[in-house]
Amino acid sequence: MGVGEVKETESYRERIARRAALEVEDGMIINLGIGIPTLVADFIPADKRVMFHAENGILGTGPSPAKGEENAMLCNAGGFPVTLATGASFFDSATAFAIIRRGLLDMTILGVLEVSQNGDIANWIVPGKRVPGMGGAMELAQKAKKVMVVTTHLDKNGRSKIVRECSLPLTATQAADWIITDMAVMEVTPDGLYLREVMYPYSVADVIGATEAELKIEGEVGVFR
């Protein structure tokens, strides 16, 4: 499905991914985090040359395979099945992380538990849950040229995930450049967090009321449908 194509049954996760895909430029090398970020690959137009990178050793993953056409030997870092783009390559995990650490990724798209108004990211530990660690998110957030956060605006308890200061252990400080949620598109700048778009059918007032962080508005706020 292309970027401009909307399914009647589009979920909030797909809408977030479709909006995030608009920030992808031709020729980029991009790492997709687990969860909503993996859906972004499904919304890249066929004529746009993009190479998706995975920490388990693939450069050139494609859209999700059709149901029943999964290859058990092909998966991303989260263990979910992927397809391969023309020119894809395989390598060991050490090389995959060397690509990250060398700063060769044009963008990383990450999910979060919290993100602050100055771009601090917390995405690796859930309170009360046993977790193996932060994985590659720490290095991705620090080394990628552009960091995009995609997430629901509120957590399961109705609390804002866009906060003034993170209360959870940080993955990286002042790392996020853009935040895309099911309610809004926000840009992190040295001057503060700017509300750039609202997701239909939400209004500017809805987004401000649902956001703990201080939002700044400059000019007209767009609407993404």
* pLDDT for 135: 75
pLDDT tens digits for range 86-128: 999 999 999 999 999 999 999 999 999 999 999 999 998 877 7
Between 125 and 18, residue with greater pLDDT? 18
Q: Is residue 38 part of a domain?
A: yes
How confident is the model over 64-92, as pLDDT tens digits?
899 999 998 999 877 889 999 999 999 99
Number of domains observed in the structure of the chain: 1
Domain, as residue range, for 198: 12-64+74-223
Higher pLDDT among residues 7 and 192, named by residue: 192
Query: Mean pLDDT for the chain?
Result: 92
Q: Is residue 2 part of a domain?
A: no
Sign of CA dihedral 40, 42, 48, 52: positive
Return d(Cα 114, Cα 82) in angstroms, integer: 27
Q: Which residues are catalytic?
A: 55
Distance CA 196, CA 219 (A): 9
In a domain, 99, yes or no: yes
The whole-number pLDDT of residue 59 equals 97
Q: What is the largest CA-CA distance in the chain?
A: 49
Q: Model confidence over 19-74: pLDDT tens digits?
A: 999 999 999 999 999 889 999 999 999 889 999 999 999 999 988 899 999 998 99
The predicted structure's pLDDT at residue 25: 97
C-alpha torsion 72→62→22→171, nearest 10? 50
Phi, psi of 96 (to 5 degrees): -60, -40
What's the whole-number mean pLDDT along residues 195-208? 98
- pTM comes to 0.92
pLDDT band at 131; cut points 50, 70, 90: low
Quick check: is 7 in a domain?
Answer: no
Q: Is the dihedral of CA 216, 221, 222, 223 positive or negative?
A: positive
Q: How far apart are CA 65 and CA 60, in angstroms?
A: 14
H-helix segments, 68-214: 93-101, 137-143, 204-210
Asked, for residue 153, whether it belongs to a domain, the answer is yes
